[in-house]
Structure 1
Amino acid sequence: MPDPTSELPAVILEALSPTSQRRILNRRGSAVWDVETGTGRYAVKLGYPIAQTSEWPAQPWTALAPGREGAVFQRLDVDGIAYGEWELGTWNIQPWHEGPDLYALWEPCRAKDSTIEPYASVALSCAQSLARLHAQGWAHGDVQPAHFVIGPDDTHLIDLALAHGQPLPPGYDFPYRGCLVHYEAPEISRSILERGVAEPTPAADVYALGASLFISATGWRAVEYPDDASRTEQRCAIVNGAHRPVNMASRLGALIEHMLSYDADGRPRIDEVVLALS
């Protein structure tokens, strides 16, 4: 069967008139294109449903994710946003952000016998980008290292398809069923295990930022479980176990320890994280 995301749909070609186009990702219900035009550079996302396999159930919500993200961006008054539907789901167009993600940027810190410590200024820029989102009344719901793009002038928090905070078009909305489990707060994992859904919160975002900083600096997941553990097993480990020791001597280590507090009320608010790193 031909790959339907191997070419941009006509609706995107008509909207952008690309001078160059390159698909950079196609996995788990989402394809992302890097598109250059006469007026600028854009990221284009195409969503499509995930078929059932022996490893996971069918996930139709992935087809709606780009349209939902586009609606979130418009609620946030982000310029250069468009979204709509194509034959397999929804799409969005958003400005391209150049730069490495957090995990890639801190790779030298993870090298064997490295004496390079994570820059607090980078952690601060990530916290500030999350703080801006929280200040506008939103929780991100999918904070992870890959979603912080460290640009030359600013850090951009991307992938807002799971963000919650204001009403969205019903046709594009869907229940929140968690995110990449490595970064789920215990209360999120518990809710998913017990009810199948959860509610993203700023406190859960702070936990996820702490877990993102920890894995980017050390290469270790915040909570230990086997690499081949199922998502249910991963969530049980997060709910029932303690996180790994944060053996980082810098002030960043003490802050991450605080951000990974099991109790949501025991974590710092994102503005307190920003203040601690400033």
Structure 2
Amino acid sequence: MGEFTPCPDEAVNAAKAICGPITLSEITDRRGSAVWKATGTVATLAIKAGYGEGEEITAREGAVLDQLPGYTVTVGRYASGVWYVTPWLTGPSTWDLFKPIRHGDGDHARALAGSADLCRAVAELHAAGWVHGDLQPAHGIHTDHDAKLLDLSWAWSPMFPPSPLFQGGITHLVAPELAAAVESGERPVRTTIESDVYALAGTLWTCITGRWPLDYDAAGIGPDVGPSARRAAIAAGAIPLHSAEPWPTAQAPLRAVLRARAQDRPRAAELAVALEEL
């Protein structure tokens, strides 16, 4: 394992200007993108730096955050790339929130409330004219008040076009129509509200079951099969949903979303209501 990339002095100074003296904790550093938790005397911030292959993607995410309601960001450049500073979100990810459920001893009411909160966060993003494009179990944080979305590098709106670098998001949660668009060579790949809702349902399914929604084994698709072949099979509807049902009541509305045609999927706000009514 290589050394963690140094935090840009410019980003450190920006963080200090917001919250006083800080203590930095290294969080992640991969594929040209590094994140630190900056704990100060009056606030806690996240610092993200993009360098090399991650520079353009990080710059794009900073620009997205700057335009979204409910987000605050300070953006800058340094010798090796770009950085941004934004408030640290305290709380478990959706994946971590569901850990007790996966272990068989969780609070089902809390999990359902968290599911609805995540759906509302997606619904609010859609209402603001944006599509996330990369929803997955680690990309929602559940604070004391609501859920907030992370990793918005691939988000787009009519006023902020999609990135030509985007390849459709994580393959296991890509909607069939989006998989077909990616494999057709269509660029830029345009995610939709409908494909976001598919990924949202798939995310919650994964958090409940601990496995991706599609049953690759049943379709004869082994772990050595690459993303392109997987997308082609998803686009053709050749992979069934997994039969594991540790929580049938909660999985029922998710199953309906994952099986529906794009035009028949509910909106994120409607899925929130369906989960709340269980």
For the aligned pair, the TM-score class normalised by the smaller chain equals 0.7 to 0.9
Cα shift at 1:135:
0.8
CA deviation vs aligned residue, 1:193-234 (integer Å, no higher than 9, x gap): 111542011111110011111111011211133334321132
* Separation in 2, partners of 1:179, 1:173: 12
Secondary structure (helix, strand or coil) at the match of 1:46 reads strand
Secondary structure (helix, strand or coil) at the match of 1:23 reads strand
* Separation in 2, partners of 1:64, 1:20: 27
Say yes or no: does 1:274 pair with 2:272: yes
* Separation in 1, partners of 2:241, 2:91: 30
Q: CA RMSD in A?
A: 2.4
Aligned residue type for 1:229? V
* TM-score, normalised relative to structure 1: 0.85
Secondary structure (helix, strand or coil) at the match of 1:153 reads coil
Q: What is the aligned counterpart of 1:263 among 261, 264, 271?
A: 261
User: Which residue of the partner structure matches residue 56 of structure 1?
Assistant: none
User: Which residue of the partner structure matches residue 153 of structure 1?
Assistant: 145
* Separation in 2, partners of 1:237, 1:88: 40
Secondary structure (helix, strand or coil) at the match of 1:132 reads helix
CA contact (8 A) 2:24 2:39 kept: yes
CA deviation vs aligned residue, 1:170-190 (integer Å, no higher than 9, x gap): 9x9544321111211111111
Identity %: 30
Q: What is the aligned counterpart of 1:207 among 198, 212, 229?
A: 198
Cα shift at 1:91:
1.7
Secondary structure (helix, strand or coil) at the match of 2:138 reads helix
Aligned residue type for 1:156? K
User: Which residue of the partner structure matches residue 219 of structure 2?
Assistant: none
Secondary structure (helix, strand or coil) at the match of 2:86 reads strand
Secondary structure (helix, strand or coil) at the match of 1:64 reads helix
**Pair 1:194–1:109, CA change in 2 (3 A):** same
* Separation in 2, partners of 1:248, 1:268: 23
CA contact (8 A) 1:98 1:149 kept: yes
* Separation in 2, partners of 1:155, 1:191: 30
CA deviation vs aligned residue, 1:150-192 (integer Å, no higher than 9, x gap): 1222211111111011434x9x954432111121111111111
**Pair 1:115–1:79, CA change in 2 (3 A):** closer
Q: How does 1:138-217 map to 2 (within 5 A)?
A: 138-168=130-160, 174-195=164-185, 197=187, 198-217=189-208
CA contact (8 A) 2:100 2:106 kept: yes
Cα shift at 1:79:
4.8
CA contact (8 A) 2:98 2:106 kept: no
* Separation in 1, partners of 2:158, 2:74: 18
**Structure 1 residues 212-221 or 101-110, which shifts more?**
101-110
CA deviation vs aligned residue, 1:102-123 (integer Å, no higher than 9, x gap): 1112112223xx2647431111
Q: Which runs of 4+ in 1 moved over 6 A?
A: none
* Separation in 2, partners of 1:69, 1:166: 16
* Separation in 2, partners of 1:264, 1:244: 20
**Pair 1:32–1:136, CA change in 2 (3 A):** same
User: Which residue of the partner structure matches residue 14 of structure 1?
Assistant: 13
Cα shift at 1:262:
4.9
Cα shift at 1:29:
2.5
**Pair 1:213–1:200, CA change in 2 (3 A):** same
How many residue pairs get matched? 262
Cα shift at 1:275:
2.1
Q: How does 1:17-96 map to 2 (within 5 A)?
A: 17=16, 18-50=21-53, 62-96=54-88
* Separation in 1, partners of 2:211, 2:179: 19
Secondary structure (helix, strand or coil) at the match of 1:195 reads coil
**Pair 1:134–1:8, CA change in 2 (3 A):** same
* TM-score, normalised relative to structure 2: 0.85
Secondary structure (helix, strand or coil) at the match of 2:159 reads coil
Q: Which runs of 5+ in 1 are unaligned?
A: 51-61
Aligned residue type for 1:37? G
Cα shift at 1:48:
2.4
* Separation in 1, partners of 2:45, 2:118: 22
CA contact (8 A) 2:123 2:267 kept: no
